[in-house]
Structure 1
Amino acid sequence: MTFKPAKEAAMKLLVKVLSTLAFVLSIGGSALAQEYVKGEVVKVDAKQKKLTIKHEPLTNLDMPAMTMVFVVAEDSMIEKVKAGQAIEFAADRVNGRITVTDIK
């Protein structure tokens, strides 16, 4: 009694599953890494391209809740917000600086 065809089919299925998983992780990895937190814009410094934000803990940066100054990744982000506005944002270290990378 031989089970060779069943083993081959199982191996092909395993290869397909692992390939699909690798593909999903490669396209989804950056999205998973981006953490959005709630915050409130305290100050907008358009000239320096900086935002002061009172925010919840930033677990990806190992920071507790606090108020701090961030640079923005894109100049257009400054125009999206005003002092007193509630936001959800993502931040990360970019070139050694803590930077707002996205605003919802």
Structure 2
Amino acid sequence: MKKALVSIAMGCALVVSAGAYAAGDMSNMDMSGGAKQSEDAKNSMSHGEIKKVDAANGKLTIKHGPLENLGMEAMTMVFKVKDPAMLSQVKVGDKIDFVAEEVNGALTVTKLQKQ
């Protein structure tokens, strides 16, 4: 009986000490659930080169590097533009920084600036 009580007491002590160790000092941990990281990724600019300007359809063909906010690798693809005025800011061959997002099911350039 004495051995059983000692074993139970030791087990409880281990559980309590493990919990206290796991809790530790968490003051320097980011507890936002990744919200800040995903917001940074959303606003981070990607780099690309204009391959085609399609003013009639409000689209740009861009050869781009990785689009981290969309989980896409580097490739060349067509994007809609959020603001048609963006089309007059660039021409074929221009190097750009841009943000693309999925808007109503279509990949759309929401921010654009020439390098």
Q: Is the pair's TM-score, using the shorter chain for normalization, greater than 0.5?
A: yes
Q: Output the amino acid matched with 1:85.
A: D
SS in 2 for 1:67: strand
TM-score, normalised by the number of residues in structure 1 = 0.69
Q: 1:79 to 1:30 in 2, by over 3 A?
A: farther
Runs of 4+ in 1 over 2 A off after TM superposition: 28-33
For 1:29 and 1:37, how far apart are their aligned partners in 2? 16
The one of 91, 107, 112 aligned to 1:82? 91
Identity of aligned residues (%): 49
- Specify which structure has the bigger relative contact order, considering alpha-carbon pairs within 8 angstroms and separated by 6 or more residues: 1
Paired residues, number: 78
The one of 64, 67, 85 aligned to 2:73? 64
Show CA shifts across 1:39-74 (max 9, x none). Answer: 000000000000000000001111100000000000
1:30: how far off? 9.1
SS in 1 for 2:62: strand
For 2:84 and 2:47, how far apart are their aligned partners in 1? 21
Which structure would you say has the larger Rg? 2
Unmatched 5+ stretches in structure 2: 1-35
Paired position in structure 2 for 1:43: 52
For 1:65 and 1:49, how far apart are their aligned partners in 2? 22
Q: Output the amino acid matched with 2:82.
A: A
For 2:73 and 2:38, how far apart are their aligned partners in 1? 23
Q: Output the amino acid matched with 1:97.
A: A
Paired position in structure 2 for 1:91: 100
For 2:38 and 2:82, how far apart are their aligned partners in 1? 16
SS in 2 for 1:48: coil
TM-score, normalised by the number of residues in structure 2 = 0.63
